[in-house]
């Protein structure tokens, strides 16, 4: 019996399962990232809004999401929330990939709360005179944001956002608990079928590490290519 | 999953320590005067804690006691988690594993198995209004089950086009069935019937499909290459079968007067070969 059986990872049924898991994890990452970014931007703007109730709304969103573990979010969006929907929609949803949808919603809302805080910090890093200058030129709140503040702020924000993407990538593994057949799930399945724990989790760890390093590399590259302009 | 990772690390270290210790395990067991057996302790009626005596009892416990008697040592039961079964065995923390362990070809590379000690069927339960009355009708449908066991590979084998979704516990999977997130739920017959019984008046809405998805051969796990220990385990089981004791133990835990309610015993303790 070889100590470490590479063949298991390179070909055959178990290889296919692990690769399918990796692909699904990457899809979860892409879908939840695309959903999280606009939500995060809206929430950040809510938190900076001149209208008090809007600020409270943004505050409530960030704090209520950030202070509950992702695991609880995941279980809620799978077992809890869909049960509140009308019967017809529920039936339709349950017939499809409800597991993956729930996971994407949980991941996106969770990540958006953190990203919103990063974007808000980025906006606050831009000196207020810039905002005042925009207003002096006759732009409204949204106009000043869009034309003057955000273009500068987003450049400051990209490195922390990439770091949140790294967290998001690792957090996709929690989707296992609601039966999404992502990488960690498949590694568990291969382990239980073969008892080759070391090989299956080595594959998963290597895959997480590789993608994480790629994301980190992206952050470093961005930082060099587009340094924050001295304000 | 973090637990699994620890199990993986344990397994890895077991692989390395396993090479160093080459002594005969049977001799060691006789020397220390006890046979340490890993059991689940949560798997009624195979191994579970008697609410009155607080002792672990059950079908697998009776078999293990017979083996210890045969060797002439005291049986010591140690509760272990599903994922820790093989690492604990490989590391030598337990001498045997009697923990609802399915004997399959893939696992033969890692450990040895005793004669088959139990044969169980896996079955599916569906909602009556789904109109499904037969296993092949699950084709293309979403089927729910527990993760980490042989349920998932078996449903895939029986109905390759079924979309299988698995959960950490059978309770979660069964909950998903009740919420309508799948049309069927698959589990070992004994476990399935227990979940079904818990439904109470709701039972009328569900049907247990008659056909078996698969037959599972359960066996006692033995560390790879310990032929002396395997010989004495197998011999004990053969003797139990011959004396009629095996039949009695089966009826005591699974027979018609138990919650499992098996009318017949369709297997014998006679072979360690699987299909």
Q: What is the 3-state secondary structure (H, E, C) of chain B?
A: CHHHHHHHHHHHHHHHHHHHCCCCHHHHHHHHCEEEEEECCEECCCEEECCCCCCEECHHHHHHHHHHHHHCCEEEEEECCHHHHHHHHHHCCCCEECCCCECCCHHHHCEEEEEEEEEEEEEEEEEHHHCCCCHHHHCCCEEEEECCCCHHHHHHHHCCCCEEEEECCHHHHHHHHHCCCCCEEEEEHHHHHHHHHHCHHHHHHEEECCCCCEEEEEEEEEECCCHHHHHHHHHHHHHHHHHCHHHHHHHHHHCCCCCCCCCCCCCCCCCCCCC
Rounded mean pLDDT of B236-242? 96
Among candidates B107, B110, B180 on the partner chain, residue whose Cβ is nearest the Cβ of A94: B180
pLDDT at A52 over 90: yes
Whole-prediction pTM value? 0.70
User: What ipTM does the predicted assembly reach?
Assistant: 0.71
pLDDT in tens, A121-155: 999 989 989 989 999 999 988 899 899 998 888 88
Q: Are strands B34-39 and B74-79 parallel, antiparallel or unpaired?
A: parallel
Interface of B with A (CB under 8 A): 1, 4-5, 7-8, 11-12, 15-16, 83, 86-87, 104, 106-107, 109-111, 142, 144, 147-150, 152-153, 165-168, 172, 175-176, 179-182, 224
- pLDDT band at B250; cut points 50, 70, 90: very high
In this complex, is the C-beta atom of A170 within 8 Å of any C-beta atom belonging to chain B? no
- pLDDT band at A105; cut points 50, 70, 90: very high
Q: Residue B232 has what pLDDT? A: 95
Locate tokens 């990488």: which residue?
A: A183
Chain B contacts of A209, Cβ < 8 Å?
A: none
pLDDT in tens, A37-48: 999 999 999 998
pLDDT at B7 over 90: no
Rounded mean pLDDT of B131-157? 87
pLDDT at B251 over 70: yes
Among candidates A177, A188, A198 on the partner chain, residue whose Cβ is nearest the Cβ of B148: A188
Among candidates B4, B15, B168 on the partner chain, residue whose Cβ is nearest the Cβ of A177: B168
pLDDT at A57 over 70: yes
pLDDT in tens, A152-170: 888 889 889 999 999 999 9
In this complex, is the C-beta atom of A112 within 8 Å of any C-beta atom belonging to chain B? no
Average pLDDT, chain A: 89
Average pLDDT, chain B: 87
d(C-alpha A172, C-alpha A213), whole Å? 16
pLDDT in tens, A61-83: 999 999 999 999 999 999 999 88
Rounded to a whole number of angstroms, the distance from the CA of B165 to the nearest CA of chain A is 5
- pLDDT band at B2; cut points 50, 70, 90: very low
Number of A–B residue contacts, CB under 8 Å: 83
Which distant-in-sequence residues (6+ apart) come within 8 Å of A3 by Cβ? Answer: B15, B16
């Amino acid at each position: 019996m070889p100590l470490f059986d590479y063949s298991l990872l390179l070909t055959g049924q178990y290889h296919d399962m692990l690769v399918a898991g990796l692909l699904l994890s990457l899809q979860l990452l892409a879908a939840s990232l695309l959903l999280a970014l606009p939500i995060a931007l809206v929430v950040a703007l809510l938190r900076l809004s001149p209208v008090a109730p809007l600020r409270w709304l943004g505050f409530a969103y960030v704090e209520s999401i950030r202070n509950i573990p992702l695991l609880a979010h995941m279980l809620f969006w799978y077992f809890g929330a869909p049960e509140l929907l009308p019967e017809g929609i529920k039936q339709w949803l349950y017939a499809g990939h409800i597991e993956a949808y729930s996971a994407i919603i949980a991941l996106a809302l969770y990540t958006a709360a953190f990203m919103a805080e990063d974007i808000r910090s980025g906006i606050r890093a831009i000196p207020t005179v810039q905002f005042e200058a925009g207003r002096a030129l006759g732009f409204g709140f949204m106009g000043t944001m869009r034309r003057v503040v955000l273009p500068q702020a987003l450049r400051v924000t990209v490195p922390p956002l990439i770091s949140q993407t790294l967290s998001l990538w690792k957090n996709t593994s929690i989707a296992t608990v609601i039966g999404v057949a992502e990488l960690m799930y498949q590694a568990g399945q291969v382990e239980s079928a073969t008892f080759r724990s070391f090989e299956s989790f080595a594959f998963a760890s290597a895959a997480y590490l590789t993608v994480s390093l790629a994301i980190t590399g992206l952050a470093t590259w961005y930082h060099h290519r587009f340094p924050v302009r001295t304000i | 999953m973090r637990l699994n990772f620890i199990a993986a690390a344990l397994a890895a270290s077991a692989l390395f320590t396993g090479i160093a210790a080459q002594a005969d395990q049977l001799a060691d067991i006789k020397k220390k005067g006890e046979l340490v057996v890993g059991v689940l302790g949560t798997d009624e009626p195979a191994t579970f804690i008697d609410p009155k005596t607080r002792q672990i009892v059950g079908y697998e416990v009776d078999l293990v006691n017979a083996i210890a008697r045969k060797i002439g040592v005291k049986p010591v039961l140690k509760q272990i988690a599903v994922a820790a079964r093989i690492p604990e065995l490989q590391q030598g923390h337990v001498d045997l594993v009697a923990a609802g362990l399915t004997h399959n070809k893939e696992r033969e590379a890692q450990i040895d198995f005793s004669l088959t000690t139990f044969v169980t069927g896996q079955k599916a339960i569906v909602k009556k209004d789904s109109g499904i009355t037969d296993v092949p009708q699950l084709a293309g449908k979403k089927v729910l089950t527990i993760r980490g066991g042989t349920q998932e590979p078996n449903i895939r084998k029986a109905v390759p086009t079924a979309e299988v979704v698995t959960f950490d516990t059978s309770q979660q999977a069964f909950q998903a069935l009740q919420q309508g997130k799948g049309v069927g739920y698959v589990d070992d017959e004994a476990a399935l019937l227990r979940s079904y019984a818990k439904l109470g008046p709701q039972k009328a809405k569900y049907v247990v499909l008659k056909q078996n998805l698969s037959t599972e051969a359960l066996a006692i796990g033995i560390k790879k290459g310990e032929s002396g220990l395997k010989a004495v385990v197998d011999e004990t089981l053969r003797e139990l079968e011959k004396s009629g004791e095996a039949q009695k133990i089966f009826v005591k835990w699974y027979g018609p007067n138990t919650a499992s309610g098996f009318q017949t015993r369709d297997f014998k303790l006679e072979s360690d070969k699987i299909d």
